[in-house]
Amino acid sequence: MSTENEGTAVPPAPSAPPVPVETPAASAQSAAPEGGAPTAQLPAVPPSAPGAPEQSYASMGAGAPEAHGHAPGASGAPVSAAEAGWPPPPPAVPSYADGGGSGAGGWGSSYEQPAPKPKNGRGGLVAAILVAALVAGGVGGGIGYSLAKNNDNSTDSTTVSAPSGSGDVKRASGTVANVAAKALPSTVTIEAESTSGSGGTGTGFVFDTQGHILTNNHVVADAVDGGKLTATFPNGKKYDAEVVGHAQGYDVAVIKLKNAPSDLKPLTLGDSDAVAVGDSTIAIGAPFGLSNTVTTGIISAKNRPVASSDGSASSKASYMSALQTDASINPGNSGGPLLDAQGSVIGINSAIQSSSSGGLGGTSQSGSIGLGFAIPINQAKHVAQQLIKTGKPVYPVIGASVSLEDGTGGAKITEQGASGSAAVTSGGPADKAGLKPGDVITKLDDQVIDSGPTLIGEIWTHQPGDVVKLTYTRDGKTHTAEVTLGQRDGDS
């Protein structure tokens, strides 16, 4: 399934996975070539950066979720992930929750510097709402005055007022108010601006006492090459920050505060593997720029295959086996924490599914329809630690190119790899396990695989060196093979 990273729409993804939404500022995806279906490269060891189309969740968008979209080559021949420089994105998927990649904010309100006030759109909508509120208030006041005037002598009032000086209201641990009160001071609103002045708003949270903040890659993408990055706490204190490392494929990034305060309180990290469908969730972020917003919901599903992207032609897709939640998530929530009822982080809000081509106040950003997707914290934690240690992500691979087309009944190994290379890398993990072009992988351990993007997301929940069991079909017969995952360093 594909979704939007809170802003960009993408082509539909496999039956199981959701998809991302496009960002307002994001450019339209390149049109897919006529002819062969795009293919995604699961890099060999070491593989070249894949580069096929990807699904994107509209950090949560409309229709099928959206994905970071890569289009096949102009020749019309199938393009593998390696050819595209990354595992290609499937059809329209969810978009990033912040709605943007370059030129748009990650999971947030995108903007350009200088930002003129809109004549219509969100500003106009807000103005209309305020006017309506004032008018309603005036009418209510008039009616109230009239009723009071006609009942000056009434003595049958039954209202009861709380005694003054009764002290602060105490809220039990585990209540949403208590969890929010403890978590909000450790969340930040991130503003990323490129050297050209474009950028956007997203969210992040304190990862450790050294000043590291965990967020989404697409939230900080604009500031990676010499741009400006700031993080603002709920108490109004604002800090300049720098990108320590970012992982496009995982959609995870770590930034560090400059002159970080000594009293930082990292949020407690939970166990995303222990989460159950129906568990309560609390999301914190800056939807449409409204910092420190708290919303609630439940875990709607686990292991949801998602390919997300900002929808721009230059964007690469991110793949995840996501936690799905119905907590309200909108552009600007990207990178924010998804908490459990105890206040522990179980995921990073990253993408949304949207059903609208228009967003709040008629803008191009789409809003929440109750289908949000978060990167499981167990995976994000490992990626963050790797980024802090080396500055670069590490990806597990099987050394084979798979089709990103839906309807293949699984992840089909293509007949040809990127740029005419072999679809199965000689001496790679898949080759050693006996897999060949044309084989259709239908399971990874006990997880059903219904498409190439689903396989990629599931492989990336593991570590290089892990041994997994692949179930595949060849000539109508089912086979199994144990594969020791290889390794690729970096995003390209």
Q: CA 161, CA 169: separation in Å to the nearest integer?
A: 15
User: Is the model's pLDDT at 436 over the cut of 50?
Assistant: yes
Catalytic residues: 218, 251, 334
Q: CA 359, CA 209: separation in Å to the nearest integer?
A: 37
Mean pLDDT of the chain: 75
Tell me the three state secondary structure of residue 140: helix
Distances (CA, A) of 410 to 413, 448, 478: 10, 8, 12
Whole-number pLDDT of residue 57 = 40
**Global pTM?**
0.70
Q: What is the mean pLDDT of residues 361-373?
A: 69
pLDDT digits (tens, 9 = 90+) for 103-151: 333 333 444 444 444 444 333 333 333 333 333 333 333 434 444 445 5
Sign of torsion, CA 97 490 225 233? Answer: positive
Angle at 284 between CA 280 and CA 288, to 5 degrees: 130
φ, ψ dihedrals at 255, nearest 5°: -120, 165
Whole-number pLDDT of residue 144 = 41
Q: What is the mean pLDDT of residues 192-206?
A: 91
Residue 220's nearest CA partner among 96, 323, 117 is 96
Q: Are 86 and 491 in contact (CB under 8 A)?
A: yes
pLDDT digits (tens, 9 = 90+) for 322-336: 999 999 999 899 999
pLDDT band at 375 (very low <50, low <70, confident <90, very high): very high
User: Is the model's pLDDT at 316 over the cut of 60?
Assistant: yes
Residue 178's nearest CA partner among 165, 169, 188 is 169
pLDDT band at 361 (very low <50, low <70, confident <90, very high): very low
Q: CA 318, CA 308: separation in Å to the nearest integer?
A: 5
Q: What is the mean pLDDT of residues 260-289?
A: 96
